[in-house]
């Protein structure tokens, strides 16, 4: 019996399910050594009869592996693309490239941009020089905003955190295991902050259909803001580098050196002078930790406010004072600019009933002896958008919950 040679060495036949954007579905059986281009021709012949008469039809379509969302290369075989039996492929028409603009169109576009460009500060002052001045009481609007309990809590929270940080530093300095506690806090500080992702925000994005890896990247780039992360995902959906990993951050050496100096300071013989020196050293180290945590302004808000004519420094100050809220920052820039950036480091009155009630709470007292609580307070001071992460943390969450409850209780009385 004679058997053809090509049948003896023929590759494995794969059964692939092919779908189109119009909803057509069919089963395509091809050997695994078939090129993607040949498979694409067969698919077009099946779903668009007569389409192969135009040789450009094949190049105007693409096959996508549904599971990996990868665009298949025409020159590779099905085997080289690691396509398995029963895999699903999508046949999609490529988006036509936009036509190149004509010179006249380019000039008109530049003219339109110049006409729509926001005036700078000098132009605004020149145009309004002859207008009568009016004393607008902006404190009314600010007062109305603070009538909402949540906004009022956010306003006071920073002052509470500043004062609690001072208490936590003193408690940790009095602890006989202060050096070990600092090493623990320092290790947590040197951990890559980008590894922490808000699980609730991540679940919201994945439930919308975004891949988990992209959602994580979007949240890290947008400081865990779900809205901004979603906008970023939609904007970069067709970006070929959307799945590229974020560049790693180099660990800071300052805290490591500070930790070493702290260990050396307390490694000597035990004495009252040595103990006091260790406490002072530990307090200075915690101050260094706070100074190295820089505020990260929202880049989109910075661009939007600078386009209004404000300088970058005053825009960053406005966003820092208003917790990265663009509208509130704009009101601050146009108003009396209070509170000032320097006021952010002022704490709450330590003799006030609110602060005394917080310090008397057992959960808060226990939390203040935990270095992670101090780290959380510092992080929330400079990056308010990270508050959600610390609220969901099993160690710091209960402390934040008690502070919120005490504030709401005293605020109602």
pLDDT digits (tens, 9 = 90+) for 33-47: 889 888 888 888 888
Helix, strand, or coil here: 92? strand
The whole-chain average pLDDT of the chain stands at: 75
What percentage of the chain exceeds 70 in pLDDT? Answer: 69
Query: How many helices (H) and strands (E) would you count in the chain?
Result: 21, 5
Q: From the centroid of its chain, how far is CA 251?
A: 19
**DSSP character for 195?**
G
Helix, strand, or coil here: 340? coil
pLDDT in tens, 86-130: 898 988 888 877 776 666 666 676 777 766 677 777 888 888 888
pLDDT mean over 316-344: 84
- Does residue 386 or residue 71 have the better pLDDT? 71
Residues 296 and 9: their CA atoms lie apart, in Å, by 62
- Which residues face 63 on adjacent strands? 91
pLDDT in tens, 195-224: 567 788 888 889 888 898 888 888 877 767
Pairing, β 70-71 against β 13-20: unpaired
Q: From the centroid of its chain, how far is CA 400?
A: 22
Helix, strand, or coil here: 38? helix
Q: From the centroid of its chain, how far is CA 169?
A: 29
* HSE-CB of 115 using CA atoms within 13 angstroms: 6
Q: Which pLDDT belongs to residue 322?
A: 82
pLDDT of 82 > 80? The answer is yes
Report angle CA 381, 385, 387 to the nearest 5 degrees: 65
- Does residue 293 or residue 153 have the better pLDDT? 153
pLDDT mean over 57-84: 87
Backbone angles phi, psi at 27, to 5 degrees: -105, 125
Helix, strand, or coil here: 18? strand
Burial 130-139 (b: 16+ CB within 10 A, else e): eeeeeeeeee
Q: Which pLDDT belongs to residue 248?
A: 46
pLDDT of 265 > 50? The answer is no
Contact by Cβ (8 Å): 390, 376: yes
Query: Which of 328, 370, 346 has its CA nearest to residue 148?
Result: 328
Residues 213 and 189: their CA atoms lie apart, in Å, by 24
Is residue 69 left, alpha or beta, with left meaning phi > 0 and alpha meaning psi from -120 to 50?
Answer: left
User: Does the reported pTM lie above 0.85?
Assistant: no
């Amino acid at each position: 019996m004679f058997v053809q040679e090509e049948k003896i060495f023929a590759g494995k036949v794969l059964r692939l399910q092919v779908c189109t954007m119009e909803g057509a579905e069919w089963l395509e059986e091809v050997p695994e050594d078939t090129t993607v281009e040949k498979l694409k021709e067969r698919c077009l012949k099946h779903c668009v009869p007569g389409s192969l008469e135009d040789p450009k039809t094949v190049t105007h379509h693409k096959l996508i592996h549904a599971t990996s969302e990868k665009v298949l290369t025409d020159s590779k075989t099905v085997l080289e693309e690691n396509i398995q039996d029963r895999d699903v492929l999508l046949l999609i028409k490529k988006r036509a490239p936009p036509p190149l603009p004509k010179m006249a169109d380019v000039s008109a576009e530049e003219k339109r941009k110049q006409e729509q460009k926001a005036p700078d500060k000098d132009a605004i002052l020149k145009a309004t020089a002859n207008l009568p001045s009016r004393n607008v009481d902006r404190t009314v609007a600010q007062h109305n905003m603070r009538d909402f309990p949540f906004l009022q809590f956010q306003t006071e929270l920073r002052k509470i955190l500043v004062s609690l940080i001072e208490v936590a530093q003193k408690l940790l300095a009095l602890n006989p295991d202060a050096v070990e506690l600092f090493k623990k806090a320092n290790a947590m500080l040197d951990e890559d902050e980008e590894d922490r992702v808000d699980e609730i925000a991540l679940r919201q994005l994945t439930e919308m259909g975004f891949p988990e890896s992209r959602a994580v990247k979007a949240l890290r780039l947008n400081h865990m803001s779900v809205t901004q992360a979603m906008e970023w995902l939609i904007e970069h959906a067709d970006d070929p580098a959307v799945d590229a990993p974020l560049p790693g951050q180099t660990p800071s050496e300052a805290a490591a050196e500070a930790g070493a100096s702290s260990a050396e300071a307390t490694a000597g013989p035990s004495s009252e002078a040595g103990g006091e020196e260790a406490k002072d050293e530990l307090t200075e180290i915690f101050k260094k930790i706070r100074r190295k945590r820089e505020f990260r302004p929202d880049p989109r808000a910075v661009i939007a406010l600078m386009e209004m004519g404000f300088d970058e420094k005053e825009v960053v100050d406005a966003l820092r004072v208003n917790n990265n809220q663009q509208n509130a920052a704009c009101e601050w820039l146009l108003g009396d600019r209070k509170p000032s950036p320097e006021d952010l480091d002022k704490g709450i009155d330590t003799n006030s009933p609110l602060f005394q009630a917080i310090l008397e709470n057992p959960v808060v007292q226990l939390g203040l002896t935990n270095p992670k609580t101090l780290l959380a307070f510092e992080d929330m001071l400079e990056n308010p958008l990270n508050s959600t992460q610390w609220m969901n943390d099993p160690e710091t969450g209960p402390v934040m919950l008690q502070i919120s409850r005490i504030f709401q209780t005293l605020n109602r009385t």
